[in-house]
């Protein structure tokens, strides 16, 4: 059985989609969850659901791209639950266009949310992780987990996603570097590369409005014909669910993956071989 009781997890982008499903799943297996998102109202509903199911959770709402927010997030975990054992860097969004129409702001925004934010969160946690590992080394070594969310777009590339693909590729390099850097502190650092998972980022853009990111309005989603074309290429014959995505994150957050580090687990229904 998977047992996460006594462990504290940070999950970013926890208000919706894969992040929400992950926060609920980790809490269901006993972890105390610090859920982070820019949408305070949606985040509150996640916390309410976890608590209603008997779990422990705390909301830390704010803009993840604020340079001070990662330190605040780590402090929330330590103050609320006196520890930090699992970090899930999931927050992200798409802002797509072909390269000649991609502004510097747009490109940098994709790098910032998908690579810089995870870097800052790991940096913010590093002092506590290193000190804890040294303290525990003699009597009770404890394994901790980092799961970074990437995409098959970061592995294969994808037309119209220069910024998104670059950010998702960069997090793979950061993942493998931190696996080597933090191995001495008993931290497993892995990534999950998702394919077509049913979230607001992959639904038909004709059916939804733009999302608000800071002061920006960003149109997300896929053209219906493109989504249908990609879905037809999936060997399993269907789009993945957020619960299935969360299951992969759960595996890499659990003792089942204690001898796995520096890896990229691909969750695409066979879309990527």
Q: What is the DSSP letter of 113?
A: I
Above 70 in pLDDT, residue 214?
no
Place 123 in a pLDDT band, splitting at 50, 70 and 90.
very high
Contact (Cβ atoms closer than 8 angstroms) between residue 192 and residue 249: yes
* pLDDT at 208 (0 to 100): 62
Contact (Cβ atoms closer than 8 angstroms) between residue 14 and residue 35: yes
* pLDDT at 130 (0 to 100): 96
Average pLDDT on 174-186 reads 98
The Cα–Cα gap between 115 and 268 comes to 21
Count of positions (residues) in the chain:
273
- pTM equals 0.94
Higher pLDDT, 13 or 199: 13
- The CATH number of 8-267 is 3.40.50.720
Contact (Cβ atoms closer than 8 angstroms) between residue 119 and residue 174: yes
Above 70 in pLDDT, residue 206?
no
* pLDDT at 226 (0 to 100): 83
65, two tokens = 């791209």
Average pLDDT on 112-124 reads 98
Above 90 in pLDDT, residue 228?
no
The Cα–Cα gap between 116 and 139 comes to 35
Place 23 in a pLDDT band, splitting at 50, 70 and 90.
very high
* pLDDT at 273 (0 to 100): 59
The span from the first CA to the last CA of the chain, in angstroms, equals: 30
Q: What is the DSSP string of 12-77?
A: ESTTSHHHHHHHHHHHHTT-EEEEEES-HHHHHHHHHHHHHTT-EEEEEES-TTSTTHHHHHHHHH
The Cα–Cα gap between 54 and 36 comes to 20
Nearest by Cα to 239 from 209, 192, 210, 203:
203
Place 207 in a pLDDT band, splitting at 50, 70 and 90.
low
* pLDDT at 225 (0 to 100): 77
182, two tokens = 């933090």
Q: What is the DSSP letter of 257?
A: G
**3 state SS of 191:** strand
Place 231 in a pLDDT band, splitting at 50, 70 and 90.
confident
Q: Which residues contact 127 (CB under 8 A, 6 or more apart)?
A: none
34, two tokens = 């610090």
Average pLDDT on 137-149 reads 91
For the annotated catalytic residues, the residue numbers are 164
255, two tokens = 């003792």
Neighbours of 12 (CB within 10 A): 29
Contact (Cβ atoms closer than 8 angstroms) between residue 201 and residue 153: no
121, two tokens = 């969160």
Place 87 in a pLDDT band, splitting at 50, 70 and 90.
very high
Contact (Cβ atoms closer than 8 angstroms) between residue 267 and residue 251: no
Average pLDDT on 155-160 reads 93
Above 90 in pLDDT, residue 157?
yes
């Amino acid at each position: 059985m998977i047992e996460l009781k006594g462990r504290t997890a940070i999950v970013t982008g926890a208000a919706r989609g894969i992040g929400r499903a992950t926060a609920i799943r980790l809490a269901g297996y006993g972890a105390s969850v610090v859920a982070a998102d820019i949408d305070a109202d949606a985040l509150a509903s996640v916390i309410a659901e976890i608590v209603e199911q008997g779990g422990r959770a705390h909301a830390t709402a704010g803009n993840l791209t604020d340079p001070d927010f990662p330190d605040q997030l780590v402090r929330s975990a330590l103050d609320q639950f006196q520890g930090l054992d699992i970090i899930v860097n999931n927050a992200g969004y798409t802002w797509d266009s072909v390269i000649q129409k991609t502004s510097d702001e747009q490109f940098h925004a994709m790098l910032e949310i998908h690579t810089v934010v995870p870097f800052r969160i790991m940096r913010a946690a590093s002092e506590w992780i290193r000190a804890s590992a040294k303290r525990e080394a003699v009597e009770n070594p404890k394994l901790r987990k980092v799961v970074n969310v990437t995409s098959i777009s970061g592995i294969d590339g994808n037309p119209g996603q220069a910024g998104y693909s670059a950010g998702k590729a960069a997090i793979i390099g950061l993942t493998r570097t931190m696996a080597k850097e933090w191995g001495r502190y008993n931290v497993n650092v892995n990534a999950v590369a998702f394919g077509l998972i049913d979230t607001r980022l992959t639904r038909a853009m004709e059916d939804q409005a733009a999302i608000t990111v800071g002061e920006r309005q960003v149109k997300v989603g896929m053209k219906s014909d493109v989504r249908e074309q990609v879905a037809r290429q999936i060997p399993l014959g269907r789009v993945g669910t957020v619960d299935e995505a969360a299951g992969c994150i759960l595996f890499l957050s659990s003792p089942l993956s204690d001898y796995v580090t520096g890896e990229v687990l691909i969750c695409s229904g066979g879309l990527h071989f």
